[in-house]
């Protein structure tokens, strides 16, 4: 028997050698066309190997084909940097000492820059660090629409407008993928809340789906050529998004021609047959099979819905072979684009260079909401030489904000706090009082200490807002209300009572109710700014950087003013597991402007330390031209925004919709001429009856301004 086994092995080796000599492995040739490599690899694979490509083999690892030397895929959260290293099959940290990263600002901050060049640099920086850490798939960016200010994950997304989200996500994706790392755009689609996110069934009109919730995903596919997409947790019209035939097969892979791989969100697969037929390619994170009674430690990765049961169904004819071949083809394409793409670079973890990108994004993303005079002049920019003492108040002045938020958590190589940055710049002038805490029992004593110090302070910099604890800006649960948590309103009132010279810095990915807004002279919306947060705030406050951020969402006066909250619980958070998007296409400023509702701060809004004038607005055919001039005393940047409204629509349309924008940097007295071409795409709406896009004849109004409410000029276009 032993001699026979040796002989068999020798014969097998000779056979493999002959095969290798007669059919060289094209799939290993990185210079060959990818489709030829895929065909070759598929021809060599067994059915079991094809099936194993379709499900995870670890929390953040999916299979390759070891026998053929084809590596698997390592993925990582998140959109703001490369996450902590995790344990193989649980959510615990691996406790490495070499998994630090650059913490980039939140995607809301990136959106607030309205700067597409910065979006590319952001993505490229994330891609470089991902490549360095041997990650092939980065789980981001998130492009779900800001429908309610309660959504716990809004800070991971790019605001309420589909056009802005589209324009900002495309260069981000191109930047990541320039490094041979796949972007995985998420969460496809209609994942607009965290409350009941794994089960809520979203009912939405086809118009709202096409006009509001899909454009950024479409741009990611058709313009950026994204290599992977993650399905959402929620249901869409009764079927889970991770295996929804309409959205994945008909729209994503059919209409848009997506040739990449669809990943499930972790534990996002729920049905074997739907997963097989409806467009899911890689099942990630499954940890239970209720239909088989398998959960927790008893679970094996090949017990996934696309595991051994899928293989058995292929063998007995339940599933046609083209299903597994298509899935395997897409996964191989993803592997050949990333892990086997032939690039010579090993990535880049240049913290110094990436910090410069962080600083620029933060400096252009922080939004100056208010800058009223106290005495003869506004508080910002702050001339420190005019003040004997500077009091920093607030828990967020010292909190490391990159650690929270669940999947977006990061282990930054450094994170400079506001307090540290101001002490480094102004030394012994700076004092600190915590003021508030997430521990309610300390509220009174902390408040009393802060108020007492505020009485004698020359100027106060209050650093508050939200944080990334559960129930605030954090995955898995929405906010309970729009207010400031931890007694901050009471603290602000008490501080203002004893000292009006307060600069308020709000760290948040969401709008916040501000009952004391009329008494607050200076307000900065500072998002989550990543590794160099403190220096960014100090740059803006000191005037070293001139603020140029513009809000990517509206700031309502109260929650009940929002479209999603105007129709009762059926529209949010849902009744009996179903949620109806009754505001339809009127999301965000579309709702507020069309309904003529007052807002605290409108979409696209943001002040500067200088002033600008838009003039000479003309329309010649379909070409819009205008001048923008810096009429102030310091260099700065303005975002010129172009909106379009249909004056004679046969269907309900928003009063105006953002269709173009341009960020322009100008020195004092300098001007620049801009031009925009108004296309049919800028004028169209989705015709549900015809199931196609349509431009109706009639008159359109072109609005030009610096926010959705600050309109400098209007011109008419006849179609």
Active site residue 535: no
Q: Give first-to-last CA distance, the chain, whole Å.
A: 87
Residue 507 β-bridge partners: 465
> Do 296 and 436 share a domain, yes or no?
no
Q: Exposed, middle or buried: residue 33 (CB in 10 Å: 0-12, 13-18, 19+)?
A: exposed
**Neighbour order of strands in the sheet with 711-718:** 657-666, 636-646, 699-705, 711-718
Question: Which of 506, 541, 565 is at the close of a domain?
Answer: 565
Rounded Cα gap, residues 698 and 228, in angstroms:
40
Nearest to residue 544, comparing CAs of 341, 389, 362?
Answer: 362
pLDDT digits (tens, 9 = 90+) for 433-452: 999 999 887 889 999 999 99
Asked whether residue 80 is domain-assigned, the answer is yes
Confidence of residue 14 (pLDDT cuts 50, 70, 90): very low
> Do 330 and 372 share a domain, yes or no?
no
The angle that helices 215-222 and 162-177 make with each other, rounded to 10 degrees, is 30
Q: Domain total for the chain?
A: 3
Asked whether residue 330 is domain-assigned, the answer is yes
Checking phi first, is residue 190 left (phi over 0); if not, alpha (psi -120 to 50) or beta? left
9 has a pLDDT exceeding 90: no
CB contact set of 95 (below 8 Å; sequence gap of 6+): none
Nearest to residue 678, comparing CAs of 719, 706, 627?
Answer: 719
CB contact set of 356 (below 8 Å; sequence gap of 6+): none
Rounded Cα gap, residues 488 and 495, in angstroms:
10
> Do 187 and 261 share a domain, yes or no?
yes
How much is the average pLDDT of 337-351?
Answer: 88
Rounded Cα gap, residues 54 and 63, in angstroms:
8
* Bridge-based pairing state of the strands 201-203 and 235-236: parallel
Question: Which of 565, 589, 620 is at the close of a domain?
Answer: 565
2 has a pLDDT exceeding 80: no
> Do 318 and 380 share a domain, yes or no?
no
> Do 323 and 376 share a domain, yes or no?
no
Asked whether residue 356 is domain-assigned, the answer is no
Query: Between vectors from CA 557 to CA 556 and to CA 562, what angle results, nearest 5°?
Result: 45
Checking phi first, is residue 386 left (phi over 0); if not, alpha (psi -120 to 50) or beta? alpha
> Do 123 and 242 share a domain, yes or no?
yes
Would you say 708 and 656 are in contact if contact means Cβ atoms under 8 Å apart? Answer: yes
Asked whether residue 535 is domain-assigned, the answer is yes
Place of tokens 């889970």: 240
13 has a pLDDT exceeding 80: no
Return the CATH number at 633. 2.60.40.10
Place of tokens 């990535």: 347
Question: Which of 508, 536, 565 is at the close of a domain?
Answer: 565
DSSP state of 212: I
> Do 538 and 684 share a domain, yes or no?
no
Q: How far is CA 278 from the centre of its chain?
A: 26
Return the CATH number at 406. 3.40.50.1700
How much is the average pLDDT of 477-490?
Answer: 95
Confidence of residue 23 (pLDDT cuts 50, 70, 90): low
Nearest to residue 420, comparing CAs of 535, 518, 338?
Answer: 535
Would you say 204 and 214 are in contact if contact means Cβ atoms under 8 Å apart? Answer: no
pLDDT digits (tens, 9 = 90+) for 58-104: 999 999 999 999 999 999 997 899 999 988 888 889 999 889 999 99
- Element containing residue 493 per DSSP (H, E): helix 488-498
φ/ψ of 472, rounded to 5, equals -120, -120
Asked whether residue 597 is domain-assigned, the answer is no
**Quick one: pLDDT at residue 241?**
98
How far, in Å, are 57, 137, 594, 704 from residue 225 at the CA level? Answer: 27, 14, 35, 31
CB contact set of 3 (below 8 Å; sequence gap of 6+): none
Rounded Cα gap, residues 585 and 593, in angstroms:
12
Asked whether residue 16 is domain-assigned, the answer is no
Which of 266-280, 282-296, 333-347 is most confident?
A: 266-280
pLDDT digits (tens, 9 = 90+) for 123-164: 999 999 999 999 999 999 999 999 999 999 999 999 999 999
Q: Which tokens in the block code for residue 659?
A: 């269709």
> Do 396 and 504 share a domain, yes or no?
yes
Sign of CA dihedral 334, 336, 342, 346: positive
Nearest to residue 664, comparing CAs of 629, 625, 631, 615?
Answer: 629
Percent of the chain with pLDDT over 90: 91
Return the CATH number at 86. 3.20.20.300
Rounded Cα gap, residues 90 and 461, in angstroms:
41
> Do 501 and 456 share a domain, yes or no?
yes
> Do 311 and 377 share a domain, yes or no?
no
Q: Which tokens in the block code for residue 447?
A: 């408040």
- Residue range of the domain that includes 692: 610-718
E strand spans, 15-60 = 56-58
> Do 224 and 120 share a domain, yes or no?
yes
User: How many residues appear in the chain?
Assistant: 719
How far, in Å, are 60, 308, 482, 506 from residue 510 at the CA level? Answer: 29, 44, 9, 10
> Do 624 and 507 share a domain, yes or no?
no
Catalytic residue among 40, 77, 161, 265: 265
Asked whether residue 440 is domain-assigned, the answer is yes
Confidence of residue 296 (pLDDT cuts 50, 70, 90): confident
Q: Which tokens in the block code for residue 389?
A: 């003492």
Between residues 10 and 567, which one has the greater pLDDT? 567
- State pTM to two decimals: 0.95
Rounded Cα gap, residues 579 and 238, in angstroms:
11
Sign of CA dihedral 252, 254, 259, 262: positive
pLDDT digits (tens, 9 = 90+) for 591-612: 999 999 999 999 999 999 999 9
304 has a pLDDT exceeding 60: yes
Taking every pair of C-alpha atoms in the chain, what is the biggest distance, in angstroms? 100
Asked whether residue 600 is domain-assigned, the answer is no
**Quick one: pLDDT at residue 298?**
84
């Amino acid at each position: 028997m032993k001699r026979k086994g040796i002989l068999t092995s020798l014969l097998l080796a000779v056979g493999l050698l002959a095969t290798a000599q007669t059919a060289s492995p094209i799939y290993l040739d990185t210079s060959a066309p990818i489709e030829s490599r895929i065909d070759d690899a598929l021809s060599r694979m067994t059915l079991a190997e094809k099936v194993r490509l379709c499900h995870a083999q670890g929390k953040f690892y999916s299979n390759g084909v070891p026998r053929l030397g084809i590596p698997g895929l390592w993925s990582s959260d998140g959109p703001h940097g490369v996450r902590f290293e995790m344990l193989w099959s649980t959510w615990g940290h691996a406790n490495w000492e070499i998994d630090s990263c650059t913490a980039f600002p939140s995607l809301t901050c990136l959106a607030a820059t309205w700067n597409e060049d910065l979006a590319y640099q952001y993505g490229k920086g994330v891609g470089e660090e991902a490549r360095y850490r041997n990650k092939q798939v980065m789980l981001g960016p998130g492009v779900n629409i800001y429908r309610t200010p309660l959504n716990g994950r809004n800070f991971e997304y790019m605001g309420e407008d589909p056009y802005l989200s589209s324009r900002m996500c495309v260069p981000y994706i191109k930047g990541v993928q320039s490094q041979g790392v796949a972007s995985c755009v998420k969460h496809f689609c209609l994942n607009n809340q965290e409350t009941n996110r794994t089960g809520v069934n979203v009912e939405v009109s086809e118009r709202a789906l096409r006009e509001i919730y899909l454009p950024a995903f479409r741009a990611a596919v058709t313009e950026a050529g994204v290599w992977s997409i993650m399905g959402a947790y929620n249901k869409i019209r009764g079927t889970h998004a991770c295996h929804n035939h309409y959205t994945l097969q008909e729209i994503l892979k059919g209409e848009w021609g997506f040739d990449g791989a669809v990943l499930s969100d972790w534990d996002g697969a729920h049905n074997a047959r739907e997963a097989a037929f409806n467009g899911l390619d890689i099942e990630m994170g499954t940890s239970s099979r209720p239909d088989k009674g398998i959960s927790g430690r008893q679970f094996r990765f090949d017990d996934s819905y696309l595991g051994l049961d899928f293989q058995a169904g292929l063998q007995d004819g339940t599933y046609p072979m083209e299903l597994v071949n298509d899935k395997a083809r897409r996964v191989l394409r993803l592997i050949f684009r990333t892990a086997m793409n032939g690039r010579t670079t090993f990535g880049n973890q240049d913290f110094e260079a990436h910090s410069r990108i962080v600083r620029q994004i933060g400096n252009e993303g922080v939004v100056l909401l208010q800058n009223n005079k106290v005495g003869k002049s506004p508080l910002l920019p702050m001339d420190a030489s005019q003040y004997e003492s500077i009091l920093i108040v607030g828990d967020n002045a010292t909190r490391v904000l990159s650690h929270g938020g669940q999947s977006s958590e990061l282990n930054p190589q450094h994170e400079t706090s506001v307090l540290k940055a101001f002490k480094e710049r102004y030394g012994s002038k700076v004092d600190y009082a915590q003021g508030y805490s997430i521990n309610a029992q300390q509220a009174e004593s902390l408040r009393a200490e802060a108020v007492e110090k505020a009485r004698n302070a020359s100027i106060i910099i209050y650093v508050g807002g939200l944080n990334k604890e559960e129930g605030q800006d954090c995955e898995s649960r929405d906010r309970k209300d729009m207010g400031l948590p931890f007694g901050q309103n009471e603290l602000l009132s008490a501080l203002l009572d004893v000292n009006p010279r307060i600069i308020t810095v709000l760290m948040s990915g969401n709008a916040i109710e501000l009952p004391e807004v009329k008494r607050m002279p200076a307000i900065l919306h500072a998002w989550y700014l990543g590794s160099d947060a403190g220096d960014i705030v100090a740059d803006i406050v000191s005037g070293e950087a001139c603020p140029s951020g513009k809000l990517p969402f509206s700031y309502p006066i109260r929650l009940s003013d929002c479209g999603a909250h105007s129709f009762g619980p059926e529209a949010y958070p849902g009744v009996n597991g179903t949620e109806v998007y009754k505001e339809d296409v009127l999301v965000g400023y579309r709702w507020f402007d069309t309904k003529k509702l007052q807002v605290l701060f409108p979409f696209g809004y943001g002040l500067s330390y200088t002033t600008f004038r838009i003039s000479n607005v003309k329309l010649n055919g379909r070409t819009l031209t205008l001048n923008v001039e810096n009429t102030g005393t310091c260099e700065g940047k303005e975002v010129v925004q172009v909106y379009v409204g249909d004056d004679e629509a046969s269907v309900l349309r928003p009063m105006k919709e953002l269709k173009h924008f341009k960020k322009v940097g100008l020195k004092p007295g300098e001007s620049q001429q801009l031009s925009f071409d108004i296309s049919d795409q800028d004028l169209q709406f989705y015709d549900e009856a015809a199931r196609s896009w349509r431009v109706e004849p009639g008159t359109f109004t072109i609005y030009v301004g610096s926010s959705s409410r600050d309109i400098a000029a209007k011109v008419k276009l006849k179609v």
